[in-house]
Chains A and B, each alone.
Chain A
Amino acid sequence: MNADVIIVGAGIVGAACAHAFAQHGLDVLLLDDLRGGATAAGMGHLVVMDDNPAELALSQYSLGLWRRWAPALDEGCAYRNCGTLWLAANAEELAVAEHKRALLDAEGLGCRMLGAEAVREAEPMLRPGLVGGLHVSGDGIVYAPNVVRWLLTQQPERIRQRQATVSEVSGNRVRLDSGEWLSASAVVLASGSARDLCPELPIRPKKGHLLITDRYPARIRHQLVELGYVSSAHSSSGTSVAFNAQPRPTGQILIGSSRQFDSLDPAVDHDVLARMLARALDYLPELANMNAIRSWTGFRAATPDSLPLLGPHPSQAGLWLALGHEGLGVTTAPGSAQLLVNQVLKQPSAIDSAPYSPLRFARAEQPA
């Protein structure tokens, strides 16, 4: 045995799992090929999402854990409790906002409806004509790569890191591309690119684009998301864009979002980027006078029902999964890690882990 637990993938989810196992006194070996994944590419928006009860439960649970971490995070983690302002451009979207408010209110999450004038007052950079919005006060932002670094330095005596490419997994053993085999009581796959290692897993890459501006005196205060985002985020085919803008503590504005299936090409797709920016300009016209300094892409690991896989591999004893978080890996990393660790250590968990069980797809594949 090379450790109590081997974790493959040092993104935010793998790091949160390592941190949680270490807190239980287990020795962790964390393997990563340093190619970078969704954590390095993503926005770092901590957001309660409510598209289904399981998504709401996991994001709400996780936001609570983020707030517990927040006071201890260092400045590089760039945690800000800026809240999310969901924007309604028409009556239909306002109804979606109201529905969302009712759902979040029922959970005791601080949120309030804003009328057209209140939206203008809260965010004067927005174009006139928006009909209202929903402010969710508990949401926030982080710089996820630095949170990973922070998580892994909290218990250095328990967590070892090693740069390695894993070429095969077999139960509680992994083979490195050097040919070396490593083993542990439990192996955790926490990489969205684990499709290569476990092609049977129902994971599809969903490409996204982001763009960041130069530093300017702060122009927006909340993470701004159009309510049309919900329909965009849910489409399971084709390419969609939705307005999403984040105020970075540096004064930069980070702009998303796009969703694209069936592309494995990491290059910026200029047609998609142009569509995404046109959408952003529609909401923030003055972006046209600002300088963009970088654009890049990343891949979300998406499951058929958009919920992560947290639990035992359907057929390999000793192998555990913590992946498939799509666009919510940063938000739900703390809760995902707790649920995974609870299952491995056979402990009760704060929320029901059944909706995220990898077995849900294995069952569906059995003949009737």
Chain B
Amino acid sequence: MSAAIELHVNGRALRVALGTSVAAALYLAGDGTSRTALDGKRRAPFCGMGVCQECRVSINGQRRLACQTVCADGMQVETQP
């Protein structure tokens, strides 16, 4: 993996290739899910283009869309419980 960058997903360090989206990092780091819906079911990135809002996670303390955010060195990503 060239030009790898390192971020944290739910506290675990993860190395990904430059240009990787946070949505892809969720899958690399675990089961790919992003949040829990009101009915208690886990949700995951779906549309991949910033419309469906299923992939909202916390990135450096701000609620963001995983599919619209590119991984950056030192980034802290937290999926929502």
| A interface residues, Cβ below 8 angstroms from B | 214, 216, 250, 289-291, 293-294
Contact = CB atoms under 8 A, between A and B. Distances in A.
A250 B53 contact: no
Contacts of A216: 63
B38 A289 contact: no
A294 B38 CA distance: 16
B72 to A, nearest CB: 19
B62 A289 contact: yes
Contacts of A294: 53
Nearest to B36: A215
B8 interface: no
Nearest to A249: B38
Contacts of A290: 63
Interface of B: 38, 53, 56, 62-65
Which secondary structure characterizes the binding site on chain B? strand
A293 B64 CA distance: 10
B24 to A, nearest CB: 20
Nearest to B38: A250
Given A214-B53, A214-B56, A216-B63, 11 more contacts: A214-B63, A250-B38, A289-B62, A290-B63, A291-B56, A291-B62, A291-B63, A291-B64, A291-B65, A293-B53, A294-B53
15 contacts: A214-B53, A214-B56, A214-B63, A216-B63, A250-B38, A289-B62, A290-B63, A291-B56, A291-B62, A291-B63, A291-B64, A291-B65, A293-B53, A293-B56, A294-B53
B69 to A, nearest CB: 12
A287 to B, nearest CB: 12
A24 B63 CA distance: 51
A251 to B, nearest CB: 10
Contacts of B53: 214, 293-294
Contacts of A291: 56, 62-65
Nearest to B52: A293
A250 B56 CA distance: 16
Contacts of B62: 289, 291
Nearest to B65: A291
B59 to A, nearest CB: 11
A293 B63 CA distance: 11
B68 to A, nearest CB: 11
A250 B36 CA distance: 12
A203 to B, nearest CB: 34
A241 to B, nearest CB: 24
B67 to A, nearest CB: 13
Contacts of B64: 291
A216 B56 CA distance: 12
A293 B55 CA distance: 11
A305 to B, nearest CB: 40
B38 to A, nearest CB: 6
A38 B53 CA distance: 24
B51 to A, nearest CB: 10
A250 B80 CA distance: 14
Nearest to B61: A289
Nearest to A292: B53
A214 B54 CA distance: 11
Contacts of A293: 53, 56
B54 to A, nearest CB: 10
Nearest to B62: A289
A289 B62 CA distance: 7
